[in-house]
């Protein structure tokens, strides 16, 4: 098949990782794969080098941006229509909110045989502005009819989209976001070596989070509960993997609480370092306000770590409450604190939950499972058409 993937930008993030794994897996199967993206602007880092080194075609449209910019968006649309007509793909598969809207309309205009879109996170819940959310909801409602299939990374995405009146049930299919499992099962560097480099001793219990230091990721909740937990557990250390615009403010708060020495901030790290850093943790906490299905949750499970998360979007499809971790009422900070305390003081529970989580993640989130599922979606769609 000729397959064109379109995504807004190749920063370091879950949707981008999912897209590259799809491109790589389909390229390995012998398909003719093209990836069209905007420039990887922003402080989150870039996956462009990985994309361009794999062997499939990568094209950058400089006008494609995450923000709504009418003139650039119009030029992006025209460029996409022209390129899709040139390539003549069997499948156009769009990712992320912006590229998902413009890319699907361009594919429709260009006469692509099959138009597929993946919802990695709901666009109409992403902003704190009700006006912006309503605009995206309207755009998704208008664009759903030209989508042959809408792939969701969790059943929760399907339920919420249908509740919002977007599309019809027969359009939706769940394909869990895949990942390479081996690096998490067998990290390149040992747990002891990584912890030593980070200044973490054997007696320390490490609660880690993997997320951009940005709005809606829930770091504020962790800072709220940190003083009490640090007082109760002198061995507790916090490991924050990621960077972002809010880092200076978070560090200011840590200093003000007298707890800066209890937090280890890695800053931006390449995705290849995430497995070994996850292995250095004892518990993964993910208090995000909005996700499709956070990759950090199955990654922690693969590394044999229990996870604590709010019950938002697809979280309960990656964490089984009280079996592989704790799934909490959204934004219940007291429950967040209690659950972390329970795990900090119960190493046997951490081990039991971690093993159960690994078994779940291997069955559900392996890259090969995702690529084969997408293959079926494409072929079934083309057969119907």
Which domains are assigned to the chain? 2-178+366-384 (3.40.50.2000), 182-364 (3.40.50.2000)
Integer Cα distance of 295 and 365 in angstroms: 9
Tokens 């919002």 belong to residue: 164
Assess contact for 290 and 214: CB atoms under 8 A.
no
C-alpha dist (Å) from residue 48 to 29, 38, 274? 22, 10, 18
Integer Cα distance of 360 and 348 in angstroms: 19
Assess contact for 181 and 340: CB atoms under 8 A.
no
3-state SS, residue 38: strand
What is the pLDDT, as a whole number, of residue 139? Answer: 94
Closest Cα partner for 123 from 263, 243, 291? 291
Q: Give burial (CB, 10 Å; 0-12/13-18/19+) of 242.
A: buried
Q: Give burial (CB, 10 Å; 0-12/13-18/19+) of 330.
A: middle
At CA 263, angle to CA 257 and CA 264, rounded to 5? 155
**End-to-end Cα spacing for the chain:** 15
pTM of the model: 0.81
Closest Cα partner for 275 from 297, 302, 238? 302
C-alpha dist (Å) from residue 351 to 14, 28, 42? 26, 36, 38
Assess contact for 192 and 379: CB atoms under 8 A.
no
Strand order in the sheet with 325-328: 263-267, 236-241, 205-210, 283-286, 307-310, 325-328
What is the pLDDT, as a whole number, of residue 198? Answer: 97
Integer Cα distance of 240 and 365 in angstroms: 23
pLDDT by position in tens, the chain (length 385): 999 999 999 998 889 999 999 999 999 999 999 999 999 887 778 999 999 999 999 999 999 998 889 999 999 999 999 999 999 999 999 998 899 999 999 999 999 999 999 999 887 776 667 888 888 899 999 999 999 999 999 999 999 999 999 999 999 999 999 999 999 999 999 999 999 999 999 999 999 999 999 998 999 999 999 999 999 999 999 999 999 999 999 999 999 999 999 999 999 998 899 999 999 999 999 999 887 788 999 999 999 999 999 998 889 999 999 999 999 999 999 999 999 999 999 999 999 999 999 999 999 999 999 999 999 999 999 997 6
């Amino acid at each position: 098949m000729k397959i064109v993937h379109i995504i807004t930008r190749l920063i370091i993030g879950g949707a981008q990782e999912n897209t590259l794994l799809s491109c790589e897996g389909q390229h390995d199967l012998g398909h003719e794969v093209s990836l069209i993206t905007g420039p990887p602007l922003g402080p989150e880092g870039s996956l462009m080098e990985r994309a361009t080194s794999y062997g499939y075609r990568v094209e950058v449209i400089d006008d494609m941006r995450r923000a709504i910019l009418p003139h650039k968006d119009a030029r992006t649309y025209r460029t996409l229509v022209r390129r899709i007509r040139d390539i003549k793909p069997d499948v156009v598969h769009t990712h992320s909110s912006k590229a998902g809207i413009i890319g699907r309309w361009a594919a429709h205009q260009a006469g692509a045989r099959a138009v597929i879109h993946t919802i990695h996170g709901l666009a109409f819940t992403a902003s704190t502005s009700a006006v912006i959310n309503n605009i995206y909801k309207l755009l998704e409602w208008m664009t759903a009819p030209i989508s042959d299939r809408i792939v969701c990374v969790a059943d929760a995405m399907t339920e919420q989209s249908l509740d919002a009146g977007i599309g019809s049930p027969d359009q939706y299919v769940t394909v869990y976001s895949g990942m390479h499992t081996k690096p998490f099962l067998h990290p390149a560097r040992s747990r002891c070596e990584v912890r030593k480099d980070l200044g973490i001793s054997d007696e320390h219990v490490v609660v880690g989070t993997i997320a951009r230091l940005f709005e809606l990721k829930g770091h504020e909740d962790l800072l709220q509960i940190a003083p009490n937990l640090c007082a109760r557990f002198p061995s507790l250390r916090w490991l924050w993997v990621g960077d972002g615009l809010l880092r200076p403010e978070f560090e200011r708060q840590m200093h003000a609480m007298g707890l800066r020495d209890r937090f280890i901030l890695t800053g931006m790290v390449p995705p290849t370092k995430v497995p070994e850093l996850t292995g250095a943790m004892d518990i993964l906490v993910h208090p995000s306000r909005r996700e499709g299905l956070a990759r950090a949750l199955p990654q922690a499970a693969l590394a044999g770590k229990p996870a604590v998360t709010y019950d938002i979007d697809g979280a309960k499809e990656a964490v089984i409450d009280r079996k592989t971790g704790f799934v909490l009422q959204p934004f219940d900070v007291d429950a967040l604190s209690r659950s972390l305390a329970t795990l900090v003081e119960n190493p046997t529970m951490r081990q039991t939950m971690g093993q159960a989580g690994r078994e779940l993640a291997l069955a559900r989130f392996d890259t090969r499972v995702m690529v084969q599922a997408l293959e079926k979606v494409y072929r079934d769609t083309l057969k119907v058409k």
